[in-house]
Structure 1
């Protein structure tokens, strides 16, 4: 992780900090893509569709290790399913069974290959039982000095799963922790249980199928603050900030959720929790966002420095609920979150705040062009993205959405965004889905625009 560059005098401090956070966030996310397959894999190609994960974890915070048991319910998508391949990172699987029958398996280069003893017919459902341990190099982060453990990219580093973003499943997660820790996780919180040895089992149930990369949790010796906004329960956690400071840091969360809900045409669903952890660039999960303690201090120093909070909140719609079908369409996640953040800043801080974002995107695109690194927003493969590739997805992609807004005008553009988001809620999409929605709103073909700005490097 690199340090911050020094801002120039013409660049607002808030904009500079946001740019640095987004650049570092993009670099961190490379870890996910290097561990994943890099291309879209529909369930029919995999041969199966995961329906539900049931995971029980016991983290050893001091030892930076984890032990887990897992039940994976899946359905065959082919005539005779004989092999199931999952992503498993550096985890060491010790046993796999189906209805008590041991299954043969092998692990190689982050993949778990399971050979079923009885082929699974099309539409038949089976449940795999797994036992594993590991010392994840990333994905599950430990901060023993804070009695803290939390998840970042990628999920397969702490539970065998399918990393591809088109795979959606429900989740039941339990994490057994020492007494005295507070925890937050994806999904609806279930009652905690105190075990005979004094440890506490925290549990969550995610009832809406979501991509595996937005599963996760955080736990530590936190302080907390709570609030309600328009029926949404908000909860803020930190090991270093007081409840009063947490209220100040996340004071604008409710307004952000209102703004994005209006732009999406979809109300926020469920409760929303935000935690400041030891070290992260920013991590969206289902109903949960993580940011660093250092970023929290930045917001205390400058209450307008809320772009990262807004970015992660925007992902609750664009990224979580409407998800790119494959990483080669990743701009549909990150460019949207970047653009929606700028639109929120425009509404909350004024036109100058929005234009500062636009100018930064434009400058980054000009720099890419100058070095011959401009690229179409849709990639043939996203298996080993460079820093320039990530700049294309984050910054150029947001700039293209700004240009499309100017091309269509406010009413047509935002109607198209709402129709696209509502129509594909709970789905994984490709760029053509977005183009069709915007063309329907415009009442005309947008192929020339998309050909120039989306499907090729603009001249």
Structure 2
């Protein structure tokens, strides 16, 4: 990747607080090449004189900082390091860039004339992917051939047609961490589900996709269920689900989700196979709006959501369906113990593989919440979850925040239980 011609020591790197990002992408979904421009407003935190941003797949063509050109050199890194004009703590800056990238491989889903981004936001804009505590507002303009649709964060701020192309600008409205920002573009048909929910529920799918209303029918009841358990209403006017036939995609984004047909299609024959809709919708609270402060606390995103899929199934299909999900989660976790040993949910070290990480953060997390539910009792458990969720909307949190919310619901000390399961003590 491109970097400035300044070599920086770790002690000289200042942290940053991203505030606003304005990104414009020119996309032709049938081609992998994408051109981008970005304006990024940030505050420097601390006395370091240099800041670093991830660029991953991006080839930066031009850059300016506070209106002055940045000289770029190729050094083989995946980051952009910038020297700031002063070393004092604080200071607001504007970084502007033009760049290009190949929208393929990790972080992208491609199908004919359809392109969607998935999780790795720094593969299509300059950001800091793993800094989950850094929330910022995004304005995203998507320039496409006329006749193609786009889905972006928040709502549509403007749309312009010119010279056979359509430029749609999306504005997030809320501030989110980088990893939940995403988009989908291409030849997509739009279906608005007819439901009693106040939130508009929309499905996008390639032309010719069938049975969409039947497959996505549970969405409204799921949304109401999660609102109740969160103690907080879904805050946006609409929620979109992008159906990708034949895909194994399953990814939440700021105001939409990618739903792969491999995971969803079985619902037509087995209605209880509704987990992927529930899982990605639940992330609109646990993950997108109440976000783990870093990867060591990621069970607060994935473990809670995996458990809540089981809780949804319990409400819709009965306790046997709940037990089935918890037994399955425990089996997956214990297989990991047999091969790699066990660690606490808030383990801050490395994992041998992504599968190992998921065995702990998704599956052990869900089993822990089942045990916690039994330990504190039904009413106290759900009140604790609602207090944790509603009290931290729009914030990044750690496991201690969750423990405190649960402790508030009972006079019984929670230290021993949390030490065993969460802290690994």
Structure 1 length-normalised TM? 0.84
Count of aligned residue pairs for this structure pair: 408
Residues 280 and 290, structure 1, Cα contact 8 Å, conserved in 2:
no
Q: Determine the C-alpha separation between the residues in 2 that align with 1:422 and 1:94.
A: 43
Structure 1 unaligned runs (5+)? 1-43
Q: Which deviates further from its counterpart, 232-241 or 308-317?
A: 232-241
Structure 2 unaligned runs (5+)? 1-11
Deviations along 1:275-295, one digit per CA (max 9) or x if unpaired, are 012534300011101011333
Aligned residue for 1:442, secondary structure, equals: coil
Aligned residue for 2:97, secondary structure, equals: strand
Aligned residue for 2:235, secondary structure, equals: coil
CA distance change for structure 1 residues 130 and 372 in 2, over 3 Å: closer, same or farther? closer
CA distance change for structure 1 residues 172 and 367 in 2, over 3 Å: closer, same or farther? same
Which residue is equivalent to 1:219? 185
Deviations along 1:67-89, one digit per CA (max 9) or x if unpaired, are 1000001012224x532211111
Q: Determine the C-alpha separation between the residues in 2 that align with 1:298 and 1:397.
A: 26
Displacement of 1:403 after TM fit?
0.4
Which residue is equivalent to 2:82? 114
Aligned residue for 1:450, secondary structure, equals: helix
Q: Determine the C-alpha separation between the residues in 2 that align with 1:359 and 1:105.
A: 54
Which residue is equivalent to 2:396? 428
Higher relative contact order at CA 8 Å, sep ≥6: structure 1 or structure 2?
1
Which residue is equivalent to 1:39? none
Which residue is equivalent to 2:204? 237
1:262 aligns with 2:228: yes
Q: Determine the C-alpha separation between the residues in 1 that align with 2:27 and 2:290.
A: 31
1:381 aligns with 2:355: no
Which residue is equivalent to 1:293? 261
CA distance change for structure 1 residues 280 and 96 in 2, over 3 Å: closer, same or farther? farther
Q: Determine the C-alpha separation between the residues in 1 that align with 2:32 and 2:132.
A: 27
Which residue is equivalent to 2:381? 413
Deviations along 1:313-371, one digit per CA (max 9) or x if unpaired, are 11000001111111011111100110011101100111111000111122223323333
Which residue is equivalent to 1:20? none
Q: Residue 149 of structure 1: which of 84, 92, 115 is its match?
A: 115
CA distance change for structure 1 residues 309 and 284 in 2, over 3 Å: closer, same or farther? same
Displacement of 1:229 after TM fit?
4.0
What RMSD in Å do the two structures reach over aligned CA positions?
2.0
Which residue is equivalent to 1:31? none
1:89 aligns with 2:20: no
Q: Determine the C-alpha separation between the residues in 2 that align with 1:453 and 1:378.
A: 9
Q: Residue 322 of structure 1: which of 272, 290, 310 is its match?
A: 290
Displacement of 1:198 after TM fit?
0.8
Deviations along 1:148-177, one digit per CA (max 9) or x if unpaired, are 111012000011111121110000001111
1:362 aligns with 2:362: no
Residues 277 and 290, structure 1, Cα contact 8 Å, conserved in 2:
yes
Q: Determine the C-alpha separation between the residues in 2 that align with 1:89 and 1:130.
A: 14
Residues 319 and 333, structure 1, Cα contact 8 Å, conserved in 2:
yes
Displacement of 1:410 after TM fit?
0.4
Residues 289 and 393, structure 2, Cα contact 8 Å, conserved in 1:
yes
Residues 13 and 49, structure 2, Cα contact 8 Å, conserved in 1:
no
Which residue is equivalent to 1:191? 158
Q: Determine the C-alpha separation between the residues in 2 that align with 1:120 and 1:274.
A: 45
Q: Determine the C-alpha separation between the residues in 2 that align with 1:65 and 1:166.
A: 31
Structure 1 stretches of at least 4 aligned residues deviating more than 6 Å after TM superposition? none
Which residue is equivalent to 2:6? none
Aligned residue for 1:56, secondary structure, equals: strand
Q: Determine the C-alpha separation between the residues in 1 that align with 2:89 and 2:199.
A: 41
Q: Which deviates further from its counterpart, 409-418 or 287-296?
A: 287-296
CA distance change for structure 1 residues 138 and 371 in 2, over 3 Å: closer, same or farther? closer
Which residue is equivalent to 1:348? 316
Q: Determine the C-alpha separation between the residues in 1 that align with 2:136 and 2:288.
A: 12
Q: Determine the C-alpha separation between the residues in 2 that align with 1:123 and 1:105.
A: 25
Q: Determine the C-alpha separation between the residues in 2 that align with 1:384 and 1:128.
A: 37
Displacement of 1:432 after TM fit?
1.1
CA distance change for structure 1 residues 287 and 120 in 2, over 3 Å: closer, same or farther? farther
Residues 104 and 114, structure 1, Cα contact 8 Å, conserved in 2:
no
Q: Determine the C-alpha separation between the residues in 2 that align with 1:150 and 1:397.
A: 29
Q: Determine the C-alpha separation between the residues in 2 that align with 1:384 and 1:171.
A: 34
Residues 257 and 281, structure 2, Cα contact 8 Å, conserved in 1:
yes
Residues 18 and 136, structure 2, Cα contact 8 Å, conserved in 1:
yes
Q: Determine the C-alpha separation between the residues in 2 that align with 1:296 and 1:211.
A: 27
Aligned residue for 1:441, secondary structure, equals: coil
Higher helix share: 1
